[in-house]
Amino acid sequence: MRILIVGGGGREHAITWALARSPQRPELFIAPGNAGTQRLGTNVALAPTDNEGLLAFVQQEAIDLTIVGPEVPLVNGLVDVLEAEGHAVVGPSAAAARLEGSKAFSKAFMAKYHIPTASYRTFSAGEIAAARAYAEAQGAPIVIKASGLAAGKGAIVCATLAEAYAALHQIMEDRAFGAAGDEVVIEAFMEGEEASVFALTDGERYVLLPPAQDHKRIGEGDTGLNTGGMGAYAPAPVITGGLLTQVCREIIEPTLAGMMQEGCPYRGVLYVGLMMTSEGPKVVEYNCRFGDPEAQVLLPMIANDWVTVFDKLAHRQLQDVRLETAVGAAACVVMASGGYPESYQKGYAITGLDDASRIDDAVVFEAGTRQKGDQVVTSGGRVLAVSAWGDHLQEALDRAYAGVERISFKDATFRRDIGQKGLNR
């Protein structure tokens, strides 16, 4: 089978790695990929946003299956373009991807279908006075969100009204997130612990992966700026079996039924970001794809042949899929460029990748890397992650951190408290 993976981050390296382990020995192409993916397949110099170029490649190379990793090409309609020409693809349509692409849409959708989430109001870019008045009436803490895609950085938790006013100014007047701030969602702050549930769905049927927990803030103790994710682990013990049943009944099933009712069935990977509140699980956000870095712990945990799983998902044959968890726990630790998520330098040589890869039950998933001659160098904010697994969480974390200690590049930074909430439970 010839498979195209669209994207170039750690999530796409993890997907490529999972597919490369298949006994079916698929031929893998990654657009654009990174230094890690090119050791497993063929990198293709096409941007994930190049719908026409990707369609031409799929047709010219007789690609059997396309898996779209990041949110931007999904929101931009790549799945629609490919499916219109009869090609098998994993991912939701542009209309369904609005669950992530527009927080204004997703909040209104949840209200319509009685899916538990924080109370909110939506404001257009020209309504800053009304937005300030609403924030003042609600009081702090409060959450200000750019409605559109902002690379995981568009949600600002404000401890005071002064911070809320500053966030509104940043999004609505300074246009810090560009067109993503054309609408702003202001929502109540939810107390609790966050976790994520992932479902593979063909629009009606779904199967669940183990619940996971991401670490979004740059600093230890969940401090500092939001990032795309600094580490993850699974399973997340904050979601017990009973709570997972509740999430399915009150959130996942109404979401799929609601999207069907809206005329845009949701097919692909559905990521539900949850806050486990005293009133029960509530939706923080939807994502229309695997999380990154959550994919880097979830994919290695599953014993199934991922070629078969993705193929069945694309052809809407989930009734034939039963996911089997292979390991007790998995964890990953992200190594980032100094200065991330703000400005940072690129082009630093990375050493120790081979040494880290020799650790039993561990793998290095690259993200912001590129090949420069015979060296791998940094080319992004989140550079790579070491993922590992074991019989229990502490064993997985020990292996992941052992890998991190073997890798070096200038100004590298990482969190040393990944998984602590899980260990504390």
| Complete DSSP assignment for 247-313 | HIIIIIHHHHHHHHHTT----EEEEEEEEEETTEEEEEEEESS--TTTHHHHHHHB-S-HHHHHHHH
Dig out the tokens for 221 from the structure: 């103790």
Q: What angle do CA 9, 69, 116 make, to 5 degrees?
A: 110
Q: Is the pLDDT of residue 153 over 80?
A: no
End-to-end CA distance of the chain: 43
Listing from the earlier edge strand, what are the strands of the sheet with 280-287?
A: 206-208, 193-201, 268-277, 280-287
For helices 306-314 and 10-20, the axis angle rounded to 10 degrees is: 110
> Helix, strand, or coil here: 37?
helix
Q: Is the pLDDT of residue 152 over 80?
A: no
Please tell me whether the overall predicted TM-score, pTM, comes out greater than 0.85 for this model: yes
For helices 161-168 and 128-138, the axis angle rounded to 10 degrees is: 160
Per-residue pLDDT of 231-243, as tens digits, reads: 999 999 999 889 9
Beta-carbon neighbour count of residue 279 at 10 Å?
11
Per-residue pLDDT of 266-314, as tens digits, reads: 999 999 999 999 999 999 999 999 999 999 999 999 999 999 999 999 9
Q: Going from the N-terminus, what domains does the chain have, and what CATH number goes with each?
A: 2-92 (3.40.50.20), 126-181 (3.30.1490.20), 200-228+236-320 (3.30.470.20), 329-424 (3.90.600.10)
Per-residue pLDDT of 325-346, as tens digits, reads: 988 999 999 999 999 999 999 9
Instruction: Name residue 281's beta-bridge partners.
Output: 276
Q: Is the pLDDT of residue 229 over 90?
A: yes
Q: Is the pLDDT of residue 220 over 90?
A: yes
Residue 395 has a pLDDT of 98
Residue 327 has a pLDDT of 87
Q: Is the pLDDT of residue 249 over 90?
A: yes
